[in-house]
Structure 1
Amino acid sequence: MQHDGEAEARGRNFTLHLDKALPCPIDKAVWNPEKDLLAMVTKDQQLIMHRFNWQRLWAVSPEVRVTSLCWRPDGKALAVGHEDGTISLHDVENGNIIRQTVTHHCPVECLAWVEEKEMAQTAADDLFVYEDRTPRFFPPPPKSPAMPGAAPAFDISGAVGSMEDPNSPMDAKTALKASHQQINILCSGDRNGTICLNIFGVFLIGRVDVSELDISTCKHEKDATKDSSYRLHDPFILKVSLSENLHHLSVLCTGKLVSSHFEERKTNQEAAYGVFSLKINTALIGCRSKELHQVALQVSSIEELLEVLQVSMNVMQKVWSDAHTSFREKFKGLSQLLREHGSHANPQEECLSLLSCGLASSGLHQFLAVSLGEGGLKRLSKTMDAALRELHVVIAEHLQPVAEILAFRVGELRGISRWKARLRSIGLDEKLVDQAMENSGMVLIQIERLLRVIADKVAQYRMFFIWLTKTLRQLNNENSPSNDQLPAINSEAVAIFLKTQFEHDILGPHLASVTNDTVWIDMNLGDKETLEELALMGGFVNSEFLHNSLNQQISQLFLSCQHAFSMPSKVVSQQLHFEDILFLRHLHQPNVLNLYVPVSLACYEDKEKLVSGEVCRYVCFQIPEKTSEECMFIVITREYWKKPSAPTENTYREAIALSIGAGLSCIDLSLYKEKQLVLLGQTVSCAQAWLMIMPIDKLPYKNITGVFPFDGPDLLNVCLSEVRYLIAPSWRAISMMFLSDYFFGMGDLQGAVFSISLNDGRARILPYADVVPPLAVSASRGLACVFGAQRRVLLYDLEEDEDVEDTEMD
């Protein structure tokens, strides 16, 4: 196919660093943007991390199937989309889950994480400067306590070595917060056409349902008619990308474009089903990025603190439930012994009788002396004492400090919400934040009450067990000197314990989980007066909340925060609207679940046009599949639009169709840095596989907006017809009755088809012919990873060639 000299030259392109066997085929792969790390998902659903030298760092097996991968811009966290709509953030060091969110209701098909590029500050921006004052008044918030009986997770990074400074004390969540200095947004698209925008990957700030977008063909609303609006049915998101200025969201998706009034017409129209490129206006996010950044900082911290509160409550409930169950089980044997000895009294009455007259029945005597014994009594006493002390430690070291920091942060958020001129436009409602602030204060009072309850319980249980110990020794006629070392017995306190707490769990309702059955906490007169005084001092109108359990109060705090934090997403989502659409390729197979569509999307700053403030977006896709009747094309569209700071707004689009040389087919593709395209392909006979990189910025693009009799790129009828004629004039026309009046010849654009071969770029013939997607390319590190069907992996350096020194010497 080529001369020997050309083939030999190709053999030196791209240095081969690695050729290894794989234990399992790879389903997805993505390079870390900052480090030589490759995250992969195998066909058997293992999430693994490899170094450049193919050393495995860690491997985890997610419970739910992984459907997408994406790195945070700083490379310190990996976003993983799952089949159930969950997105989990994994620590790069060990694969542990840092945070987990559920923003979708179906499989997450694509992820893209972008960080806002620093722009020149204006005078208005300088006014909105907020300093996080929490570190001034509080130490770092404590972590969640460990669940009793749970073994600590094994950190595999300790076995293979850390990728960061080993002397650094920064943990995963601290590293996560360190990335919050600049606003970054995780974009996710799912199988049902929903796109979610999450600041820092955790705070939902915008949601777009592509099927609900009104796609207008008229540039001006006054020109719009009933027939000029369309909807995209059954959308399936393939790729998403947010511009670095956060003003434009680019979406590649499949779907069926029909008239919005299709249902009213009741006509059998054939709609256009295929791949579409959408541009959604997200200017509100870009213009209000500073305000959203500050709100997201507080909200993400508050949500993390709420998580610590809930985990702390779960730990306390577990600790007390285990201890109290042991106590109940021990004294359950006393009831059976009393019945065996013919007594109809219950254990509480027997104990009160022993306290009042000092005489024990035969059943109670046998239980204390034989069944329980002094050793068993000591063990039970230590169990209850240790549990109550553990509850106190969890409250003092976790629950109370976190609740105080949370109340302060909600107060800071309330202060921000009062700047209505800047914050109302993004939906931060002062009244809703006020409600969250009041609930956080109620939680603090409930925690203070729980501390009092636990302190009383400690004293009462200790007095009860001291009394039982002395009684047992007297029943056994033991007058050892150690009896004098025991504290004096308060008979009144023991009697109160036996009447109120021996058979009733007073502490349990305070820690009970929130269920449909409302827990009503009774209070004695003294506690009620004290707590009501605290409530009045805190500014609460009434003290009815004191009858709730602490878990109920935390649940109310969670709901009020959730309501307040969801408003920005609702307000911002309503202002994200359709801006432009382009029909990319027709699909003969409506079901895309098992169809791999090679597409790539990237945005570049145009260095030659920085003066005019233009940004260039490239979209590259393959069309259609190779058949005997049709040619294979790689279509590239590029679109320029001015930045918001530009004096005028102007958008124009160009396109070119690359016809791959005879005997070649494309397997996968990826846009590369500096406007280059990486292609992975095979010969038609599958005898050889090849890898090629070629520049695409100097290709003879054709303008596909200015040649039409309609003004503007947002004319849907133009977009639907232009690419069909551009790519293949002989392609079967798509019959669309509602657009038939606009179809016209595109002869001027037929010259946009440009033939390419392996001579048009740097290419290399690969040692294995059975290459398969995905093609993993690292633009920041200049690496390409190619996978073979026979479980092989090839790692190439795209920036260096083999035998360069020898060639220069020759």
Structure 2
Amino acid sequence: MPAFRQVGEKQLPNPVLCMAWSPKRDLIALANTTGELLLHRLASFQRVWSLPPSEYTGREIAALAWRPDGKILAFSLGDTKQVVLCGVEKAEILHVFPVQSPVTCMHWMEVMEESSVLSSFYNSEDESKLFLPKLPTLPKSYSTTSKIFSEEKSDEILNLLGEVRLNVLALGGDNGLVELYAYGMYKIATLGSISGMCRSLSLSSDLKSLSIITEVRSVDNNPEICYIQLDTGLLSDCLPEVTRMARKFTHISTLLQYLHLSLTCMCEAWDDILMQMDLRLTKFVQEKNTSTQVQDEFLELLLWGQSSPELQALLMNQLTVKGLKKLGQSIESSYSSIQKLVISHLQSGSEALLYHLSEVRGMSLWKQKFEPLGLDSSAIEGAITAVGSFSLKANELLQVIDKSMKNFKAFFRWLYVAMLRMCEEHVPPELNKMTQKDIAFVADFLSEHFSENEELFDRKGKYFNVERVGQYLKDEDEDLVSPPSTKGNQWLKFLQESTHLKESPLLFPSFPQKSLHFVKRMMENVIEHCLQKPAEVIGKSVKQAVFLPLYTVPESSENTPRLFELPSLWNDKKAKMHCVVFCMPEISPYKLYLLRKGTDPNRHIPNIVTSIDLSHHLDNADDDSPEAQSHCAYSCLDARFYDDEMLTVVLQGSGEQNSRRVLAQLPLASNLTCETEFSWEPNLRLDQQSSNIPSQGLVLGNQWRELENMKAQFLAVNGIRKVACVLSANLRHIRVFEMDVEDEDDEGADSQNVSADQDGLETTVTSQNPGEESLETEGEAGEQEGDAFKKIEEQLESEEAPELL
């Protein structure tokens, strides 16, 4: 009776490069060679959704990591040097940030250390909601596309923070790149002086150390695998302060993205106005072939009520009464959209930014607590000033929009009445009245928008200028073409005459000659400087505590996918130890090695190195057949930590049984009881002193299963969910197992998971709303499962966040 119940099998169309189980749900993420990200559920290995490669995601996914709550999946892009955060519910890209070098490995860890200070902080975290209004969602009428959020994602922005408890995404890559991101978004540490390429890394749950497996080039140019432990004591010692600072800066980062997206919507609304003008009025102006200017002819019509036959023909035939009415309505609608975006989005976002930055400034003044983390009060004051300048510029734009809307309305109402008179149609009495102020508005409109002055516009060949508002939305460094007039402004006059107030830090500079885009960029740069400094200060505090060269990489492994290759690194939270499992095929091919190192570099815990001898393994002592009683030597192809007490391995037989593959569970407790410190020769690699490593044989009992008709090679496991996924050497054949039940109906399982379902991945239809489809199909799949799977479903329903299951 084979151990472990097989619940799914697939032949995939494209080779898989990464796979990772969700920490909270029975879902596995896969990345293939086409750059596609796939999410499958345990039940029959059905696909939930796929995220195809795009201009924002790239085509080379190099590493995967789940946020500890299982709601967000992070993946790195080797070809574009980016890290992407993807919402699991609907396969939506929520956040993208660049990195200096390609990321080769990542680990997302939740901080488990509890303290009374932290608990009080967690309870008071939502105070900002008492003072700040909820940010309005972005309008759905615009096709806003952003590298950060799609048009309807303003609700998701602050949800990105997830749980209040601190979680840290650790990234490792080429050229010694190691960075730590709080909540997966805010960089809290940039670590230098790491040699080689990171192959694996794990941050301890108490934040005391970071363990890294690197591949470095030795003196004779052979790749060496090394174990490095970094002392991150500052993060651990200042955990409440780091949590509070990271939380605030993540709020600030998301608010900056919200403002960016709001401004993008404003630019699109302005583009609508330009498009309407180009379609009608610009064409109308260009087709006029008389010597007089359009502005003059309109003024003549305004003053005397008379128009030239040509202007009358153009108005009646080209523009038409109906066309003019439609044009006026669309322009007024676009202006209103921009006005609403400024009032409800830019101003709300700016107020929230000022609130959070003011709190950070208060933190920075508590120098005893926050100065070691690099919080600089003067830099934060500069950021507050920059946000104030942005608010002033947004308010200035509101005044310009207000004036432009008055002119537009007056002009279109006057021209509409004039055209009705030309048609000899009835003019409604409410439209027939024109005050002196209305006439002034129309004259202003004509002088501003029909001018042929080259300085007022840069759109060649087009004589209709509507840049009064548009100049604020241009993403250029040029000064405003026509800044607002400050003549008669008593406040400005008072400021200029006051020597004390002129240079006061309490007043925000207004930059009267600059556009809104320019002031926004300036604000982003100043805030970015504030965000970066703590990462540099914390990074410099990190010191290398341990450097242990393990073994040289055999040349035969050059073609093996590096993303699956041993060694595997594990953070044992209970024992507060880092564990490394690895093989040294050139030295001892039939042994599996375990290295254990305490997570606290300042506390002496013996370096425990043991090996598991796989060469004298007895297959099954209960079986009386001669074949079963024979001894068989195994080599380990892949090993992953199932939990703190168990190791899941894929073993390959030797000699005549070379094609045999076995999936097995190895209990670690018996192999890590040797508390004798391994006497490590500092000048030698571990493989050069392997004869001194204590070795233990192992009998598996019934915790193994032969993998028939499959050239198994790689593993992904999750002890919390009690699941394992086995991948073949060609990276296309996958089998999925539940590890805590025996396969009672082997024949039934085989019929359910026939590999004839080879094209299952390709034939699965992904709808426009993949999240909804996944929920429907998942319910159907759940009904088809046996009693064992129903039991797991009941267990899942009692847990948090069961949306997908």
The size of the alignment, in residue pairs, is: 695
8 Å contact from structure 1 (residues 142, 402) kept in 2: no
8 Å contact from structure 2 (residues 63, 103) kept in 1: yes
Could you say which residue in structure 2 is the equivalent of 1:136? 130
Shift of 1:639: 1.9
8 Å contact from structure 1 (residues 582, 720) kept in 2: no
Post-superposition CA distance 1:434-465 (Å, at most 9, x none): 00101111122222222121121111101101
Post-superposition CA distance 1:164-187 (Å, at most 9, x none): xxxxx99644543341x1111100
Could you say which residue in structure 2 is the equivalent of 1:512? 473
AA paired with 1:62?
Answer: P
Could you say which residue in structure 1 is the equivalent of 2:566? 598
The equivalences for 1:220-231 within 5 A come to none
Say if 2:270 is the partner of 1:320.
Answer: yes
* Partner-residue secondary structure (3-state), 2:216: strand
The equivalences for 1:753-772 within 5 A come to 753-756=695-698, 759=700, 762-772=703-713
Distance 1:606 1:560, change over 3 A: closer
Which structure exhibits the higher relative contact order, with contacts defined as CA atoms closer than 8 Å and separated by 6 or more residues? 2
**How high is the TM-score relative to the length of structure 1?**
0.79
Distance 1:527 1:551, change over 3 A: farther
Shift of 1:200: 0.3
Say if 2:213 is the partner of 1:252.
Answer: yes
Could you say which residue in structure 2 is the equivalent of 1:60? 51
Give me the identity figure in percent: 22
AA paired with 1:249?
Answer: L
Distance 1:301 1:270 in 2: 49
The equivalences for 1:83-94 within 5 A come to 83=78, 84-94=80-90
Choose which of 798, 801, 807 in structure 1 pairs with 2:739: 798
Could you say which residue in structure 2 is the equivalent of 1:656? 610
Say if 2:304 is the partner of 1:363.
Answer: no
Distance 1:593 1:290, change over 3 A: farther
Post-superposition CA distance 1:311-346 (Å, at most 9, x none): 11111112112212322442233444431xxx2122
The equivalences for 1:73-152 within 5 A come to 73-83=68-78, 84-102=80-98, 104-121=99-116, 131-146=125-140, 148-149=142-143
Distance 1:552 1:350 in 2: 38
The equivalences for 1:368-517 within 5 A come to 368-478=315-425, 480-482=426-428, 485-488=431-434, 490-503=438-451, 504-517=465-478
The equivalences for 1:745-784 within 5 A come to 749=692, 752-756=694-698, 759=700, 762-773=703-714, 775-784=715-724
Post-superposition CA distance 1:100-138 (Å, at most 9, x none): 221x2332111101111133447x998999655321112
Distance 1:170 1:358, change over 3 A: closer
AA paired with 1:636?
Answer: L
Could you say which residue in structure 2 is the equivalent of 1:12? 2
The equivalences for 1:572-721 within 5 A come to 572-589=538-555, 595-596=561-562, 597-605=565-573, 615-624=576-585, 631-640=589-598, 649-661=603-615, 662-684=632-654, 685-699=657-671, 707=679, 718-721=681-684
Distance 1:174 1:190 in 2: 28
Distance 1:534 1:482 in 2: 49
* Partner-residue secondary structure (3-state), 1:133: helix
Post-superposition CA distance 1:560-585 (Å, at most 9, x none): 10011111011111111111011111
Q: Which runs of 5+ in 2 are unaligned?
A: 452-464, 616-631, 746-805
The equivalences for 1:232-381 within 5 A come to 232=195, 235-257=196-218, 270=220, 273-339=223-289, 343-381=290-328
Distance 1:485 1:517, change over 3 A: closer
Say if 2:69 is the partner of 1:69.
Answer: no
Choose which of 530, 536, 542 in structure 2 pairs with 1:564: 530
Distance 1:55 1:762 in 2: 27
Shift of 1:15: 2.1
8 Å contact from structure 1 (residues 128, 291) kept in 2: no
Distance 2:649 2:494 in 1: 73
**How high is the TM-score relative to the length of structure 2?**
0.80
Shift of 1:635: 1.4
AA paired with 1:694?
Answer: L
Shift of 1:686: 4.0
8 Å contact from structure 1 (residues 338, 345) kept in 2: no
8 Å contact from structure 2 (residues 389, 508) kept in 1: no
AA paired with 2:19?
Answer: A
Post-superposition CA distance 1:238-260 (Å, at most 9, x none): 11101111010000010035xxx
AA paired with 1:115?
Answer: E
AA paired with 1:723?
Answer: L
Distance 2:309 2:287 in 1: 9
Distance 1:328 1:171, change over 3 A: closer
Could you say which residue in structure 1 is the equivalent of 2:780? none
Distance 2:376 2:737 in 1: 53
Post-superposition CA distance 1:634-681 (Å, at most 9, x none): 21111235587xxxx213201123343254332211012132211112
Distance 1:593 1:142 in 2: 52
Distance 2:332 2:246 in 1: 42
Note the aligned Cα RMSD (angstroms): 3.2
